[in-house]
Structure formats: structure tokens, C-alpha cells
Amino acid sequence: MALKQRLLFLISALFLTLSFLLSCGKAPSQLHLKLSHGLDVVHPVHEAMMFMSRRLRELSGGAMTIDVYPSEQLGSERENIELIQFGSLDITKTSAAVLESFVPEVRVYSLPYLFRDQEHAWRVFLGPVGKEILQIGKSKGIMGLCYYDSGSRSFYTKDKPILTPDDLAGLKIRVQKSMMAVKTIQILGGSPTPIDWGELYTALQQGVVDGAENNPPSFYTSHHYEVCKYYYLDEHTTIPDVLLMSERAWSRLSEEQRRILQQAADESMHYQRKIWTQMVEESLAKVREAGVEVGYPDKKSFMDKVAPLYEEFAGTEIGRLAERIRRVE
């Protein structure tokens, strides 16, 4: 971890710990939670978390509140997960790809072309497999409250479109700090380069990487379209966002507080799914207006190229989870 990141992490931990200690003097009927994430305030996932904050206040009659800290104010996604484990932060939103280094089973969601379509993905997330995966991290101080729609990830690049895997040859592609993301780009023929989300715009500008991959709302709200003028929707992965809570914070809640918080989280998930589709359409329209070339390559060449990944994980826990997911109707 770079010195600047380490200092930010320590300051965030001290701030949150102090806030918790100060809150101990408040009336026991009042519960104040802190939620940190890395997205811009115009992102639909941020809007969903603000919706959750409002609903929690309403459902609890003002007795439970959430303060939301966006845009990596309290650190990167990885640093926020570590704060969750320490109990210094109550709630965070992270991509499942970042979570996989803490909860290895989550890697299954990063397998390329795992889901047949978005409907299939959500039947999994809301079904037994998805609920099981949300709870796997409890022994490590992490528990999932719900999923948020993060759409499908596709390549955007500075100098040429990605129409087939061969077009990735020689290109440095930013990926999340995820073993599966690295493997996917490697097997497709690119050079994976893990970089924190908050540093990516500058990395693209300065030529540290030639491109990246993400969903349309993130491509638009991050302003990466100002640098990358080619966006081809190969939709190689459908990785959800996950709303996480500290197991330590959860254990301090009463049964009624847990019920109310889970209800607010579930309602925010359904709200986010409604606004997500609209935001995808608006984002694609906006980047087209800005001069980005948006296209739809033939996915078959990409699917054929990544097939060996499934063979690599055959017989492992990831492979067994993948088989269960693919059997979901």
C-alpha cells in the first residue's frame, strides 16, 4: 500500500473509531451508522444507498440513521472492507470482484459469461446460491446485506475498438484487484493492470493503461469517456455490487434493529434495479453525444477464448458453485 493510501487508511480508522466512541454516550435508542463507498454521487448505486438511508430513518421513526461517505472519502474499496473487519466502519459497498480476496468463494461471480442474461443473474442473486454467498464471510467479520445491479462489464479503449479478443493483444487493460479479473484479461490476450478506481482517470490520461472495462453508468459518471473514445459491449462479466456490514456492528443490533435495517437494504436493492436500466440507456446516449463509438461485437469469439477457465476450476469449490449457478432456471 502506498504511503498516501496508508495514511488515509489510518486517518479513516481513527476517525471512525473516535466517532463510535463518542456515539457510545448517546441514548441507547439512537443508532448512528456510517457507510463508505467509492462511487460518484450521481451514480445509481449511490442513489440507492441514499434511498436506504432515508428508508431506515422512516422505518425506525428516526431512531436509526446512516451517514453516507461517497467518492473514496474514507479510502478505497479494499481499505473499506478492512475497516469493516476491524469494526471501525459499519457498512460499505464493494464490487464482488474486490471482495473475492477476502471471501474466495465470491470469485465465482467473476467467471466470464457465467450468466445467460440479466434475468438469470438475478434469479441466482436472490435465490439460495446468492443468499448463501452473502453469508460466507461471517467468520471473517464480513456479512452481506444485499446485492446491487452492476450490469455487465465491457471494454473501453483509447485508440481502437475491441471487436475480437485478438484486438486486446499488446494492450494494457486496467482491472480491479481481483485474481479472476487478471486471469480473464490474460486468457483473452491483454495485459491486465490492477489500479484503484480513483486513480484510473489519470492512468488513462497519462497512458499508464490503454483501456479498462466496466458498465455504462460507471464509464459515464467517471468521465472516462473523455479519454476513451471506443466502447464495445462484449459484456464479458456480470459482477454484482455487494452491500456489506461489519459482523461486529451487526452483533450489537437488537432483533428489531436488524429487521428494520435489512428491510431498508432490500428496498434499496429493488429501487436501484429500477433506476439502473434507465441509467444504462442514458449513459450510452451521453457518451455517444460526446463522440464515443459504441458497438456490439460478436460474443462467440470471446466465449470460446475463456472456456479454458472453466476447465481450470473444474472440481474446485468455485467450479461446483459455477455448476449450481448454471443449473438455475
Residue span of the structural domain in which 301 resides? 153-238+282-311
Nearest to 306 by CA among 200, 203, 190, 224: 190
Structure-block grid coordinates of residue 217: 453508468
Q: Please determine, for residue 86, whether its predicted confidence score (pLDDT) is greater than 70.
A: yes
65, burial (CB in 10 Å: exposed 0-12, middle 13-18, buried 19+): middle
Q: 167 in a domain, yes or no?
A: yes
Q: 201 in a domain, yes or no?
A: yes
Task: Please state, rounded to an integer, the average pLDDT across all residues of the chain.
Answer: 92
Q: What is the mean pLDDT of residues 213-234?
A: 97
Q: Please determine, for residue 121, whether its predicted confidence score (pLDDT) is greater than 50.
A: yes
Predicted structure pTM score: 0.88
Distance, CA of 318 to chain centre: 19
Identify the band that residue 289 occupies on the pLDDT scale cut at 50, 70 and 90.
Answer: very high
Q: 296 in a domain, yes or no?
A: yes
3-23 and 77-86 are packed helices; what angle lies between their axes, rounded to 10 degrees? Answer: 40
CA distance 153 to 149: 12
Reported as a single tens digit per residue, the pLDDT across 274-283 is: 999 999 999 9
CA distance 131 to 281: 29
Nearest to 40 by CA among 12, 82, 68: 68
Reported as a single tens digit per residue, the pLDDT across 232-281 is: 999 999 999 999 999 999 999 999 999 999 999 999 999 999 999 999 99
Q: 204 in a domain, yes or no?
A: yes
Question: Which domain CATH number covers 187?
Answer: 3.40.190.170
- Residues in a beta bridge with 95: 241
Q: 229 in a domain, yes or no?
A: yes
Nearest to 75 by CA among 215, 176, 198: 198
Identify the band that residue 73 occupies on the pLDDT scale cut at 50, 70 and 90.
Answer: very high
Q: 207 in a domain, yes or no?
A: yes
Q: Are the CB atoms for 235 and 153 separated by under 8 Å? A: yes
Q: 208 in a domain, yes or no?
A: yes
Q: What is the mean pLDDT of residues 3-8?
A: 50
What are the residues whose beta carbons fall under 8 Å from the beta carbon of 152, sequence distance 6 or more? 118, 215, 233, 235, 236, 237, 238
How many distinct structural domains can be found in the chain? Answer: 1
Q: 267 in a domain, yes or no?
A: no
